[in-house]
Amino acid sequence: MHFSLEHLVNSRYVGAGTVEFLVDPVTNAFYFCEMNTRLQVEHPVTEMITKQDLVEWQLRVSSGFPLPLTQEEILATSSGCAMEARIYAENPQNDFLPTSGRLIHVRTPEVGEVDGLRVDSGVVAGDVVSTFYDPMIAKLIAYGDTRDEALSKLEKALRNYQVNYIFNSLVYMDWINIRTSL
């Protein structure tokens, strides 16, 4: 990781961004994949672990303000595990082709009922998912002190998420949970 931080410092890049790695679980060797000079769609996972608002950071930096914390300060205050599931208007039984139509019924899990749960969505019942835009309905993010706790919260939240009328990925995620629980 220090290798990539060195390269970022040498590039004189200032701003929020995402650096992706692969880690070999046997040797703990890491391999640099890419650096994006924007927030990734998965940025809520990082926000949950670091307890920082990365969108606010990006806006502040683009306005000329310095980053509020150093990498060392972020690492010192980060903890836990977070996972994200994306709910899409797509048909898992037809090669995940996007589907369109009116969302007749949408019920998200109650965020207040489960500590460490976040739902990012821009749609409600009555909205239309069109063929002209990304078919993402929502991002569901769960945080826990451990991976098992985060996964348990995410599984429970997925079971309580409802989208009716158009095909969506919730049925597929439920199928994955059933298969991996055996």
User: How far is residue 30's CA from residue 12's CA, in Å, rounded to a whole number?
Assistant: 23
Backbone angles phi, psi at 49, to 5 degrees: -75, -40
Model pLDDT, residue 79: 95
Give me the pLDDT at residue 161, please.
87
Calculate helix-pair angle for 170-181, 147-159, nearest 10 degrees.
130
Cα 15 to the center of its chain, rounded Å: 20
Among the listed residues 16, 58, 55, 54, the one whose alpha carbon sits nearest the alpha carbon of residue 37: 16
Nearest to 140 by CA among 166, 118, 155, 125: 118
Q: How high is the mean pLDDT in each 10-residue block of the chain (182 residues)?
A: 64 72 85 80 91 91 89 92 91 86 89 83 92 89 94 89 78 63 46
> What residue ranges define each of the domains in the chain, with the CATH number in brackets?
2-77 (no CATH), 81-181 (3.30.470.20)
Q: Which two tokens stand for residue 12?
A: 């004189």
Give the C-alpha separation, 155 to 128, whole Å: 27
Other Cβ atoms less than 10 A from the Cβ of 60: the count is 15
User: What was the pLDDT predicted at 182?
Assistant: 41
- Mean confidence (pLDDT) of the chain: 84
Q: Assess whether 38 carries a catalytic annotation.
A: yes
pLDDT computed for residue 139 by the predictor: 93
Q: Tens of pLDDT along 92-119?
A: 888 888 888 899 999 888 877 668 999 9
Per-residue tokens: 65 = 């303000």
Residue 137: what are its φ and ψ, rounded to 5°? -90, -40
Strands (DSSP E) found in 122-178: 128-129, 136-144, 162-164
| Selected catalytic residue, list 12, 38, 60, 118 | 38
